[in-house]
Amino acid sequence: MQPKLADVAKLAGVSVTTVSRVINERGYLSAATKEKVFSAMQQLNYQPSLAARVLQGKQFKLVGLIFASLENPLIAQVVEEIENRLFARGYKAIICNSMDNPEKEQQYLKMLMANQVDGIITGSHNEGIKEYKMSGLPIVSYDRYFQTKIPTVSSDNQAGGELAARTMIEKGSKKFMVVSGSLEKRAPNNRRLTGFEQIAKEHGCPVQMVAFPFNSTPTIRRATLREKLLADQPDGIFCTDDQTALLCIQEARRAGMRVPEDVQVIGYDGSDYVQEYHPELSTIVQPVEDIADLLVRLLFSRLQKNDDQLLDKYVLPIKLLQRDSLRK
């Protein structure tokens, strides 16, 4: 629960009116009284800007959305679907683009708390941010594990990786390159790699891993991919996102490799944008609408204090969209 004006007053041993006067700097108050109020606010992590809304009797139906990068077509689609569903319920969204920066995410969290949001949906992957626990807000997560009891919604990442490997093996690939983001963070989508490697190992197929930090530029990615393609000559590539898979197709062709005759490629996400504008890419499709539906329903369950009925993890099914980057 978020602390209220009355909680500050009780802890400080003064009236609600006195707390209001301290916050709004109205009338004369002793230094000792001010110190008690400010100390109570700090202990409760009470955000001063909440006071005006409480005193004015206003109700703001707001939900904070924190995601790593809206440049990713899949993330942009998920956020759009969430925002549409919140609006249909009479809520508005404050959208925060953390760019995988822990300090930026912390500042956004403080801002959301100060704006008295009712809850938060997060899809960023920074770890160890204490403000999540301190906020006292209902929180649900997309593709991110928390140590605290926060429900996480994800596609079946393990099954997606397994399906990608099994499909390319059935179509003749025997030597793989897997391209992902950073492997350092504890995120559910790392299971895409686990699933792929497991099936490849069962069939005796070697796997070369290539991992890129979040902030690596397209130029660096292109140069690295071309170097790895020429050095390793894989005949199958699995990428944990579609944007990287498209880069792999481009660089493979520039290296003189035919797609899919010489090398097959499968991405992961299957956003509407990729399906519409890149018909050459085969990909594991996440159920975006179902993900958005479930995230919003879980958030409202938490708003209604139904936490005991919720699970820690919700895993939704994936499917393969087979197109020109796979052999027939």
Provide the 3-class DSSP secondary structure of residue 233. Answer: coil
Cis-peptide, bond into residue 260, ω within 30° of zero:
yes
pLDDT score of 3 more than 70: yes
Q: How far apart are CA 270 and CA 177, in angstroms?
A: 20
Range of the domain at 11: 5-46
Say whether both 181 and 262 belong to one domain. Answer: yes
**Residues of the chain with pLDDT > 70: what percent?**
91
Radius of gyration of the chain (CA): 24
- State pLDDT tens for residues 35-69: 999 999 889 888 765 445 544 544 578 999 999 88
- State pLDDT tens for residues 227-264: 999 999 999 999 999 999 999 999 999 999 999 999 99
Q: Average pLDDT, stretch 186-214?
A: 91
Say whether both 164 and 281 belong to one domain. Answer: yes
- Which of the 8 DSSP states describes residue 96? E
Q: Average pLDDT, stretch 263-273?
A: 98
DSSP letter string, 114-170: HTT-SEEEEE------THHHHT---EEEES---SSS--EEEE-HHHHHHHHHHHHHH
The two structure tokens encoding residue 272: 């509407």
DSSP letter string, 217-231: -HHHHHHHHHHHHHH
Say whether both 29 and 106 belong to one domain. Answer: no
Asked, for residue 227, whether it belongs to a domain, the answer is yes
DSSP letter string, 247-307: HHHHHHHHTT--TTTT-EEEEEE--HHHHHH-TT-EEEEP-HHHHHHHHHHHHHHHHTT-G
The conformational region for residue 204 under phi > 0 = left, psi -120 to 50 = alpha, else beta, is: left
Say whether both 88 and 237 belong to one domain. Answer: no
Say whether both 270 and 293 belong to one domain. Answer: no
Q: How, if at all, do strands 282-285 and 264-269 pair?
A: parallel
Say whether both 15 and 126 belong to one domain. Answer: no
Residue found under tokens 């890149």: 278
Say whether both 181 and 243 belong to one domain. Answer: yes
Say whether both 261 and 297 belong to one domain. Answer: no
Say whether both 70 and 140 belong to one domain. Answer: yes
Q: How, if at all, do strands 319-321 and 282-285 pair?
A: antiparallel
CB 252, CB 154: distance < 8 Å: no
Asked, for residue 52, whether it belongs to a domain, the answer is no
pLDDT score of 15 more than 50: yes
The residues, any chain, with a CB within 8 Å of residue 227's CB and separated by 6 or more, are none
Asked, for residue 55, whether it belongs to a domain, the answer is no
Q: What pLDDT shows up at residue 52?
A: 54
Can you give the CATH number for the domain in which 215 is found? Answer: 3.40.50.2300
Number of folded domains in the chain? 3
The conformational region for residue 237 under phi > 0 = left, psi -120 to 50 = alpha, else beta, is: beta
Asked, for residue 123, whether it belongs to a domain, the answer is yes
Q: What pLDDT shows up at residue 184?
A: 63
Asked, for residue 322, whether it belongs to a domain, the answer is no
Q: Average pLDDT, stretch 86-91?
A: 96
Say whether both 222 and 248 belong to one domain. Answer: yes
| Of 84-88, 129-133, 235-239, the least confident | 129-133
Provide the 3-class DSSP secondary structure of residue 215. Answer: coil
The two structure tokens encoding residue 19: 């707390």
- Count of CB atoms situated within 10 Å of the CB of 206: 12
Provide the 3-class DSSP secondary structure of residue 12. Answer: helix
Say whether both 189 and 262 belong to one domain. Answer: yes
| Of 8-17, 114-123, 189-198, the least confident | 114-123
- State pLDDT tens for residues 283-312: 999 999 999 999 999 999 999 888 888 999
CB 274, CB 242: distance < 8 Å: yes
